[in-house]
Amino acid sequence: MDLTTNFPVPGDLTLKAGDASIVTVLRERARLHPHKRVFTFLGDGETETETATFAELDSEALRIASLLSEAGMKGKNLLLFYPPGIAFISAFFGCLYSGTVPVPAYPPRKNRSLDRIRLMASDCDAAAILATDEITRSLERNFSGEPGLASLPWISSDNKKLPSAGFQVQEPDTARLAFLQYTSGSTGNPKGVMVSHRNIMANLRSLQLHMQIRPEDNNVHWVPQFHDLGLILGILEAIFSGSHSIIIPPVVFISNPLTLLKAISRYSARLSGGPDFSFNHCADKIHPEQLSGIDLSSLRVLFSGAEPVRMETIEKFATAFESCGFRRQMFFPAYGMAETTLIQTGVPLGEEPVFEAVSAAGLLKNRIERPAGSNDIRYIACNGKPNTDTRLLIVNPDTLEVCNESEAGEIWVTGSTVTMGYWGKQELTAGTYGVSPAGKNDPIWMRTGDMGFINDKGLFITGRIKNLIIINGKNYYPQDIELSAEMSHPSIRKTFVAAIPVEDNNRERLAVVAELGRTALRDKTHEAVIDAMAAAISSDHELKAARIVLVKTNSIPKTSSGKMMHREVRSLLLSGKLDILAERYFPDEETETVLLEESGGLPEFITGWISAKLNRGLPVDTGLSPGVYGLDSLRATELSDELKKKYGIEFPAYRMFEDLTIKQLIDEAEKLPGRA
């Protein structure tokens, strides 16, 4: 199907193919079905705190668009700072209605580093910040003293001024830039993916066909709205297909994953999903006695994307919730990325996930071979095939020659969902987009940086070329973690820190290898160095390492030009060939939390919780920060939720990453009002 000039529109709307945009679709649905609900927001995971019909969303978008037009924002890039909810959706479409380019961003926390936002604002030439009144009041003063941000004006979308009489929504040129999607993770080199209106329409149609999404469907989503998965599938697809999207705030899902299953059951949802970690999270945190009345039999699609699809996870989830009517064929492994708007491939609906058993040793040489024995087996998930005009190619990343079926290589993609490139980065765009295999004059392909192979069943992902670590569905760039680690203690040799991905208990986790300077080799401070590294990684990235390793000077390999050889470091670590001075494991497991007796208090609960959840039940030093024991965003959210349930206090999760010792955390918590 050639979508270059004539891409499809929703089948239930009589719109001219090739001319319509998502703006056209929303306006048409508001005209035809003004009272049909399109979004329901469950603020606490259960209560309907906000709803929007097509007409209400159209009206709000029109009002905000008029504000932006009067402010002279047409054609300019705007940072969007919004909490989860329908206000973000209205603001996003207000930008599209006015010809302004929205740049979704996670609002920075008050009194936290603004480096990520400053770099993003500079990279995209942001003209202003669009936000709610509450976020504006909270953050505007922080920005006033920050170079590069102080001059940015704030525009509140809460301004209830009626649209100007002369304002008219301009249907955008489908080839024009619609929004910028920043790839999550890096603070050092932010990359704004340029998504056109044509990209949006082509990918939404691809999603609709892959997942057979219908106007009568209820679908439940929790993935953050500034993430490409949450934005494209959770929000824009509902408008495109005319379906109903029920949205749960990410922090609510993380603290209580049962809310997701309850929402699926309550609304008889047909579609939901998330990254691989979210299914482990449900199976680990939801107990069988909580499943009474939960019915998952309405599901037809439980998509798994944004992380490698693991056979063990699927088996674990399917077994845990089989009694609720869940079946393995509801799983929908898929592959995609921001650079292709979202989805590239998906499996046939209603079929059980397929896993290919290949030789682990062979994969190290990018060969697809049969396993030599039980210790040589690696199971790789099939992520299905593309549809519409998307095509794939497997290419040797070094020679750029097309691979044969027995080889794994880099995945290249072409089609109408491939985006326009990276904002302001011509060299990077040229090296990624519009490339051609060796010996062929075919410059239509985009390099994904992911490795895989294709057979008659579909696409299989085997790894990554690009230095990227994906944990709990979020991208982390090694250089960011490496900088945090090397700055954490003076004994660490600068630029000789390697952050690498490792497999642990069937999940991708982080390992950090750091060289000590020569003068520190004989010091007895190795444990203090590891403490400092763990705390810095926790504080800066809300992340827990699986393993922190200190090695002798000149142990870490680099290229002749001084670049870190991450894959070689990983190989040396896993093969036991590094000259290790000291190391610490941070297992992804917990002991049973001790139930406090009535005589127990808040200090005992917090120290007991950190011991059980982060330190394998061993005593903790309250003079250290919780980050020393590997506190991450998942655990911080869980502790915050536990404090609210047990003691009635609101202790925000982000506060636990702000240079507090455990004792200071306890002292601050004891001063909060509302203790039960």
The count of other CB atoms within 10 Å of the CB of residue 374 is 6
Enumerate the β-bridge partners of residue 194: 180
The count of other CB atoms within 10 Å of the CB of residue 6 is 12
Q: Give 497-549 pLDDT, tens digit per residue.
A: 999 888 887 788 899 999 988 777 777 788 999 999 999 999 888 899 999 99
Inter-residue contact 648 to 676 (CB < 8 Å) = yes
| Rg of the chain taking only CA atoms, in angstroms | 25
Q: Does domain 602-671 have CATH number 3.30.1310.10?
A: no
**What per-residue confidence (pLDDT) applies to 1?**
41
**What per-residue confidence (pLDDT) applies to 487?**
87
Question: What does residue 602 show for φ and ψ, rounded to 5 degrees?
Answer: -60, -45
* Element at 225 (helix H, strand E): none
d(CA 542, CA 544): 7
Question: What does residue 654 show for φ and ψ, rounded to 5 degrees?
Answer: -65, -25
d(CA 555, CA 558): 10
What is the topology classification, in CATH, of domain 469-585? GMP Synthetase; Chain A, domain 3 (3.30.300)
Mapped onto helix, strand or coil, the DSSP state of residue 283 is helix
Class of domain 339-464: mainly beta
**What per-residue confidence (pLDDT) applies to 316?**
94
Domain boundaries, the chain: 1-20+55-212+230-237, 339-464, 469-585, 602-671
Percentage of the chain with pLDDT > 90?
A: 61
The count of other CB atoms within 10 Å of the CB of residue 364 is 10
**What per-residue confidence (pLDDT) applies to 9?**
63
Confidence (pTM): 0.84
- Tell me the HSE value of 279 on the side-chain side, using a 13 A CA sphere: 33
Angle at 338 between CA 333 and CA 339, to 5 degrees: 115
Cβ-count burial 322-355 (b if 16+ within 10 Å, e if not) = eebebbebbbbbbbbbbbbbbbbbbbeeeeebbb
Mapped onto helix, strand or coil, the DSSP state of residue 155 is strand
Q: Distance of CA 431 to CAs 475, 527, 582, Å?
A: 21, 43, 40
Q: Give 13-23 pLDDT, tens digit per residue.
A: 777 767 789 99
Inter-residue contact 465 to 410 (CB < 8 Å) = yes
Least Cα distance to 341 among 232, 466, 178 occurs for 232
Inter-residue contact 489 to 532 (CB < 8 Å) = yes
Q: Which residues of the chain have pLDDT under 70?
A: 1-9, 11, 17, 110-113, 184-188, 559-563, 589-600, 674-676
CATH number of 1-20+55-212+230-237: 3.40.50.12780
